[in-house]
Amino acid sequence: MRNDELEGGLLLGVMSKNIERLEAERLELIKALEQFLDLVGDSHGVSGYHLNGDIAEWDEFECVGEAYELIKRIEGIKKPPEAINAIQQPST
């Protein structure tokens, strides 16, 4: 076996381990994000955020809509209907 073939094999091994690690981390992040979105779907917003007693509704937070879009893009998961309405309807 030539030296460049040996180095190439070692490089592929290292890259394969890195890909496996990154995939495992990706799955952990997706799971954490889905758990957060479950919490969002089961609640109305964040109490105490405005420091005036009002609840900050989830549609006030752009990151919630972005999180749904990210999960939808990565996993093809659709938003629950009540979550879609909460994000798309402005609070009154």
pLDDT digits (tens, 9 = 90+) for 4-28: 776 777 888 888 899 999 989 988 9
Establish if 54 belongs to a structural domain: yes
Which residue stretches of 1-92 are H helix?
Answer: 3-41, 62-75, 81-88
Q: How many domains does the chain have?
A: 1
Establish if 30 belongs to a structural domain: yes
Contact 41, 23 (CB under 8 A): no
Establish if 19 belongs to a structural domain: no
At residue 66, does pLDDT exceed 50?
Answer: yes
Three-state secondary structure call for residue 48: coil
Establish if 13 belongs to a structural domain: no
Establish if 5 belongs to a structural domain: no
Establish if 71 belongs to a structural domain: yes
Query: What is the rounded distance in angstroms from the CA atom of residue 16 to the CA atom of residue 12?
Result: 6
Residue among 34, 63, 58, 36 nearest 46 (CA): 58
Domain that holds residue 80: 26-88
Establish if 51 belongs to a structural domain: yes
Establish if 80 belongs to a structural domain: yes
